[in-house]
Amino acid sequence: MAVNRGDTALYVEVPGFDTLTAQIHVTARFSELAFEQTALTIPADTRATLRAQAVTTTHTYVNEYMTFESSAPDVATVDEDGVVYGVSEGSATITATSYNGLTAACTVTVQGGNGSGLKLPAFLKEIGEEAFAGCSEESVIVPDGCETIGARAFADSANLRTITIPASVTSIAADAFDGCTDLTIRTPKGSYASRYAAAHGFGCVAE
C-alpha cells in the first residue's frame, strides 16, 4: 500500500536464492495523459520519439510509468520509450496507457514505403551536382556517413515532400533544393541541416 510520495525498494529474500529487488516510485495519481502532438508523419525506415505527458498535482511525467502500443506494427512499431519506427507506408495509432488506466492516442502516418520513396545507398559520401534534380519521389533518405549535398542536387523535384538528412552532412549547397516548394527536412537537433533549413525557409523536424 502506498502511504506517501517518494522512492523505495522492495526486497524478497529466500534462503538459497538470490535476493530479488523491485524499485518502487510512489506519485500523486495521474489526472491527465496526452501526447504533445496527436498526429505525426515520418518517412519509412526512420525513427521519431513521441512525447506523452502524464500530469499530477505536483509534477508532469514524460514517457514515464506508462506503456505504448501500435495498432499496426506492420506500418509503425513503438518501443517502451515511445520511439516510433516507420516500417511501411500507411497509418497506425500509437496508444499510451498510464499505470492507472488513462489513455492517449497519436496517429502516425508513414510515407515512402513500398517503393514510393528513395533510400540512397549506404556507401554514398557525396551527392553531386544535379544528381537527383527533377526526381519524382515524395521522400528521400540520405544515409548516415554522407557529408556533402552539392549544387542543385535535388532541384526542381516538385513532388519531394520530406528528406531525411543525418548529422554527418556538414555542407549543403544554397541551391540544392531550388524548386522544392513544399519540403520538410528531417534531421537531428543541432545538426548542420537544421540550421540550413532555418536559413533557407524550409520546414524542419529536428529529432
Q: What is the pTM of this model?
A: 0.49
Q: Who has greater pLDDT, 41 or 95?
A: 95
Do the beta carbons of residue 10 and residue 25 sit within 8 Å? no
| pLDDT over threshold 50, residue 115 | no
Q: Is the pLDDT of residue 182 over 70?
A: yes
In this structure, the number of other CB atoms found within 10 A of the CB of residue 85 comes to 18
Q: Which residue has the higher pLDDT, 88 or 134?
A: 134
